[in-house]
A and B are shown apart, each in its own frame.
Chain A
Amino acid sequence: MNAFYALFAVILLLLVAWVGVGTVDLYSLFGIIIPYLAFTIFILGFLYRIIKWAISPVPFRIPTTCGQQKSLPWLKSSKLDNPHNAFWTIIRMALEVLTFRSLFRSTRAELREGPKITYGDTKWLWAGGLAFHWAFLIIILRHYRFFVEPVPAFVLYLQSMDGLFQIGLPVLYITDAVIVVAASYLFVRRVFIPQVRYISLFADYFPLFLIGGIAVTGILMRYFTKIDVSAVKELTLGWINFKPAAPEGIGIMFYLHLFLVSVLFAYFPFSKLMHLGGIFLSPARNLANNNRAKRHVNPWNYDVKVHTYEEYEDEFREVMKEADLPVEKE
């Protein structure tokens, strides 16, 4: 049900843009005002969310240790999975963010006759997730060609690598295919794995459809419906130079694409998509396991009511003396 709602929501968004640009000609609204607004919401919202997390302290150092600790010098410690200093923690975080190591670890439990449970390797979610995120990142970086003049060398390089196979014309970008396949996989597993379907919310389907919609409209205008790319860049450079103007003659497909992107940007800070920022703040991963070597300070550590030894001895002094246990006060 949640999946249908999410699909309807994205279709509705497409209709809004379709009507707004296609029939009512609201070029400035959809080409300038909404994108500006969305980007502003994204930046401010992102900062707001991070700051909101940051104002809560990390009272305890609670890394999840996933390997041998550093203790005795002759025991080999697992520097990456149980980092003992900032350097290895950074490496652990970097690999987590860039290669999803925790997901890579995943197993699939199966109950069999016996009864017995087996744990098989499963790399599907890891592969799908990684492909999706990397494709997305490269696509975003490729889009810098619209925002920077002259086009930076790294963007040209990315484009040529991405189009390495030179299939079709314009050359098919590998990432375009990958993101569609990966997003489809992420959607399909959400629907077909009963447990995952059970936990999935509207907020899980909506971004998938939204990003899927963005990918599809982007692909349509690149490969099929065609648009005047120079005109698009005039528009995008206009945003960047704060001299926005919506040139005519850019196809409707562009505005559908742009509107979905705008919605994604504006939606981002208020959604689970903030895992982009949140992962860096996860105390289970971003702290070194050096608790006993280096004291961690809790800013709200307050005095509590304790039972003192004096109170204890006062209660038990007689029995202690009878048992020949030393006491402080005779």
Chain B
Amino acid sequence: MSDEKLKSEQLADIDYNPPSKDWMDVKPVIKKGTFNYPAVEASEKYLDLPFSRKWDPRDDDWKLPENWKEIVLKGLKDLLGKYRSFKVFMDICVRCGACADKCHFYLGSGDPKNMPVLRAELLRSVYRNDFTTAGKIFGKLAGARELTEDVIKEWFLYFYQCTECRRCSVFCPYGIDTAEITMMGRELLNKLGLGIDWINTPAANCFRTGNHLGIQPHGFKDSVDFAVDDLLDFTGIRVEAPINKKGAEILFVVPSADYFGDPHYFGFLGYLALFHEIGLDYTFSTFASEGGNFGLFHSAEMMKRLNAKIYAEARRLGVKWIIGGECGHMWRVLHQYMDTINGPADFLEEPVSPITGTKFENAKSTKMVHIAEFTADLIKHNKVKFDRSRNDHWIVTFHDSCNTARGMGILDEPRYIIRSTCNNFYDMPENTIREQTFCCGSGSGIGTDENLEMRLRGGFPRANAVKYVREKHGVNLLTCMCAIDKATLPAVMDFWVPGVELAGVHELVGNALIMKGEKRSGDLRGQPFKGEEVKEHV
């Protein structure tokens, strides 16, 4: 997958010294490999988005609507009125620079406009110019600048070079969250029809078919049936995987890549095996066939539009509560937004594990439990048996996904599961994991092939930490709980630290799980276990 023209030595030749010119005088350069293609018109029209048109970021003329300036300023005013976070973050930054070398894009590119503080200043400068007295009077001296087409181009470039990972917010003395600012920036850009295809087309798909990939109900069923067949091959057991089953106890929602992508799929097999083994009464939904939410990368409204189906399907199918699969930004939405935007879920019951009786107090309002919380609880209560040696061909490390680490804090559940299911686990250095974890560099809808150079640059700090444990412990498997990680990190690993594969945490679970009556022929990838000796299990 890695572009032959790109060499790691080249990309790692990073100059962190800013140019001598003032940043306001540096014009944005739209360069191959560092931007994303605009959204196709059909997708935007399907979602009733404004000003959809054919345009190319490399052209001088972006065909902005005539009153573009008015739209942006009105939009900005509107957002300032709706979000205290935005207003406060516009005002209180002291530019101490603590965030600068915390951003994976800055570390990987050296472009000063990728320092979180400067990324925010791109927007702040306009805010000062039009919304503050000091800016109106003192202009540039007060850090204000006029809104021009070049500013819009700069926004397009740099708000799509931020993965909304919130790492900067951890180190900011005021918690200023660039993700919040990037979200506002993107919302404004989308008001001008400046959305990117990798966000708006999945969003349109999701709106129509329930999932980003546009998989229709029969396609979903095919995928699941296929997985059931695969699992039969690997374990000798035919599992049930109910779809759209009314009256099931639990609705299970996964990111669509789980049943379509590689290596997500192996984790999906893990879910199926686990649920079969514990006899869980659950159902998939062909409509709520996506937990991920690219609407989050578009606007709060789009997020709400795409998320609505989850509670709607839970209600229609009459389930008691919901489990969500492994995904990063999906869980940002489920954890921090869903109850607020589409709740209250008073038609559901407070989640109680039917196997262990554990009440998930932390999810009693939203009524949605993370699969890692659910599985960790099963393991703790000895409800499942594992043969860890079946993962001995893997030397494992774990990548905390940015959204679940810094927008939720699910850090120890996956580690507990991993330690219970494999023998060789090594964490990466402490400045690169848990709340300080580095993003894959492709999150928030910018994981495209055309943006590969920027992704590789953004992925450099993560890859660098993987390289460390690879060299020290021989790590060959990077586990994570995020669909975007699983989709995009393989390219990043191939480029920076070849020989490391990606896997979901539940792939390890599926491998190690001792199932009644199983006849294992190999792991969930169809590979033989270490030493190739096929052990007998009762």
* Shortest beta-carbon distance from A164 to chain B in Å: 29
Q: Is the CB of A102 within 8 A of B170?
A: yes
Binding-face segment, B28-36, B365-373, B442-450:
B365-373
Residues of B within 8 A of A103 (CB): 96, 98, 171, 173
Chain B residues with CB under 8 Å of A105's CB are: 170-171, 436
Measured CA separation A64–B344 after assembly (Å): 23
Q: Are B217 and A284 in contact (CB under 8 A)?
A: no
Please, which residue of chain A has its CB at the minimum distance from the CB of B169? A64
Give Cα distance in the complex from A19 to B461, angstroms: 57
B336 within 8 A of partner (CB)? yes
Partner of B82, one of A59, A117, A323: A59
- Contact check, A57 vs B82: say whether CB atoms are below 8 A apart: yes
- Cβ of A278 and Cβ of B339 under 8 Å apart? no
Contact A325 B376 (CB under 8 A): no
Q: Does B308 interact with chain A (Cβ within 8 Å)?
A: yes
Contact of A68 among B143, B412, B431 (CB under 8 A): B412
CB-contact partner of B339 in A67, A296, A320, under 8 A:
A296
Q: Which of B174, B180, B340, B411 contacts A298 (CB 8 A)?
A: B340
Check B363 against A293 for contact (C-beta < 8 Å): yes
Tell me, in angstroms, the Cα distance from A326 to B88 when the chains sit together: 50
Chain A proximity of B402: nearest CB distance (Å): 11
A316 and B335: CB pair below 8 A?
A: no
Check B362–A64 contact: CB distance below 8 A: no
Residues of B with C-beta under 8 A to A77:
409
Given contacts A64-B177, A203-B143, A316-B217, contact A309 B287 (CB under 8 A): yes
A230 on the interface (CB 8 Å rule)? no
- Please indicate the chain A residues that have their CB under 8 angstroms from the CB of B336 in the complex: 60-62, 291
B101 touches A291 (CB 8 A): no
Given contacts A195-B97, A301-B340, contact A322 B218 (CB under 8 A): yes
A102 CA to B166 CA, complexed, in Å = 13
The chain B residue sitting closest to A318, CB to CB, is B218
A71 to B18 Cα, complex, angstroms: 44
B290 at the A interface (CB under 8 A): no
Asked whether B316 lies within 8 Å of A102 as measured between CB atoms, the reply is no
Q: Considering the complex, which residues of chain B in the window 318-360 have a beta carbon less than 8 Å from any beta carbon of chain A? A: 334-337, 339-341, 343-344, 358, 360
Query: Which one of B243-251, B384-392, B499-507 is at the A interface?
Result: B243-251
Inter-chain contact A307/B208, CB cutoff 8 Å: yes
A residues near B8, Cβ cutoff 8 Å: 115
B-side interface mostly: helix
B335 touches A68 (CB 8 A): no
Query: In the complex, which residues of chain B have a beta carbon less than 8 angstroms from the beta carbon of A309?
Result: 287, 309, 312-313, 316
A169 located at the interface, meaning its Cβ lies under 8 Å from any Cβ of chain B in the complex: no
What residues on A are CB-neighbors of B377 within 8 Å? 72
A116–B472 CA distance with the chains assembled, in angstroms: 14
Contacts of A78 in B (CB 8 A): 409
CB of B172 closer than 8 Å to a CB of A: yes
Structural contact, A115 and B411, CB atoms closer than 8 A: no
B48 to chain A, nearest CB (A): 7
Taking the closest CB of chain B, its distance from the CB of A191, in whole angstroms, is: 12
Known contacts A67-B434, A117-B107, A312-B210; A275 and B92 CB within 8 A of each other: yes
A75–B287 Cα gap in the complex (Å)? 34
Report whether A116 and B96 are in contact in the complex, using a CB–CB cutoff of 8 Å.
Answer: no
Could you tell me the distance in whole angstroms from the C-beta of B330 to the nearest C-beta in chain A? 14
Which B residues are in CB contact (< 8 Å) with A81? 435
Q: Within the complex, what minimum Cβ distance (angstroms) separates B264 from chain A?
A: 22
A82 within 8 A of B: yes
- Contact status B412-A75, CB under 8 Å: yes
Q: Does A141 contact B (CB under 8 A)?
A: no
A67 to B435, CA, bound (A): 6
Query: Could you say which of B113-121, B154-162, B233-241, B526-534 contacts chain A?
Result: B113-121
Say whether A44 faces chain B, with CB atoms less than 8 Å apart. Answer: no
CA distance A81 to B412 in the complex (A): 14
Contact B101 A278 (CB under 8 A): no
Least distance between B403 CB and chain A CB atoms (Å):
10
Chain A residues closer than 8 Å to B27, beta-carbon distance: none
Interface size on B, residues (CB 8 A): 122
The residue from A69, A70, A201 contacting B143, defined by CB atoms under 8 A apart: A201
Of the candidates B245, B287, B337, the one whose C-beta lies within 8 Å of that of A60 is B337
A293 to B369, CA, bound (A): 11
B115 touches A195 (CB 8 A): yes
A-side contacts of B175, CB under 8 Å: 64, 96, 102, 282-285
Task: Please indicate which of the listed interface residues A59, A74, A291, A319 has the most CB atoms of chain B within 10 Å of its own CB.
Answer: A291
Instruction: Give chain A residues whose Cβ lies under 8 Å from the Cβ of B210.
Output: 312
- Residue A140 at the B interface, CB < 8 A? no
Complex formed: what's the CA distance from A270 to B136 in Å? 12
Does A204 interact with chain B (Cβ within 8 Å)?
Answer: yes
The answer to whether residues A68 and B84 also contact, given A62-B336, A320-B218 and a CB cut-off of 8 A, is: no
Q: How far is A106 from B97 in the complex, measured between Cα atoms in Å?
A: 11
Nearest-Cβ distance from residue B127 to partner chain A, whole angstroms: 13
Decide: B376 and A60 in contact? CB cutoff 8 A: no
* Interface: A199 (CB within 8 A): yes
| A271 contacts B by Cβ under 8 Å | yes
Check: B517 CB closer than 8 A to any chain A CB.
no
User: Is A320 in contact with B217, judged by CB distance below 8 angstroms?
Assistant: yes
B198-220 vs A, Cβ < 8 Å mask (1 yes, 0 no):
00000000011110000011100
B405 within 8 A of A: yes
Contact B169 A284 (CB under 8 A): yes
Which among A57, A100, A195 is the interface contact of B100 at CB below 8 angstroms? A195
In the complex, A172 has a CB within 8 A of chain B: no
- Say if the beta carbon of A107 comes within 8 Å of chain B: yes
Q: Does A129 contact B (CB under 8 A)?
A: yes
Chain B neighbourhood of A100, CB < 8 A: 173
Alpha-carbon distance between A2 and B132 when the two chains are bound, in angstroms? 19
* Interface membership of A58, Cβ < 8 A: yes
Check: A274 CB closer than 8 A to any chain B CB.
yes
B84 and A308 form a contact (CB under 8 A): no
User: A residues 73-130 with Cβ under 8 Å of B?
Assistant: 74-78, 81-82, 84, 96, 100, 102-103, 105-109, 111, 114-117, 119, 125, 129
Contact yes or no, A291 B87, CB < 8 A: no
| Contacting residues, chain A, for B461 (C-beta < 8 A) | 109, 117
Q: Given contacts A69-B409, A117-B460, is CB(A323)–CB(B217) below 8 Å? A: yes
A275 touches B94 (CB 8 A): yes
Q: List 15 A-B contacts (CB under 8 A).
A: A53-B87, A64-B166, A65-B407, A69-B408, A78-B409, A100-B173, A204-B95, A270-B134, A275-B93, A282-B176, A291-B339, A292-B363, A295-B344, A307-B309, A316-B209
- Besides A103-B98, A293-B362, A328-B316, 7 new A-B residue pairs in contact (Cβ under 8 A), listed by A number: A59-B300, A102-B98, A107-B102, A125-B96, A197-B18, A198-B118, A312-B210
Residues of B within 8 A of A (CB): 8-9, 12, 14, 16-18, 23, 48, 80-89, 91-98, 100-102, 107, 112, 115, 117-118, 121, 132-134, 138, 141-143, 166, 169-177, 180, 207-210, 216-218, 221-222, 243-246, 286-287, 300-301, 304-305, 308-309, 312-313, 316, 334-337, 339-341, 343-344, 358, 360-366, 368, 370, 373, 376-377, 380, 405-413, 416, 429, 431-432, 434-436, 460-461, 464, 467-468
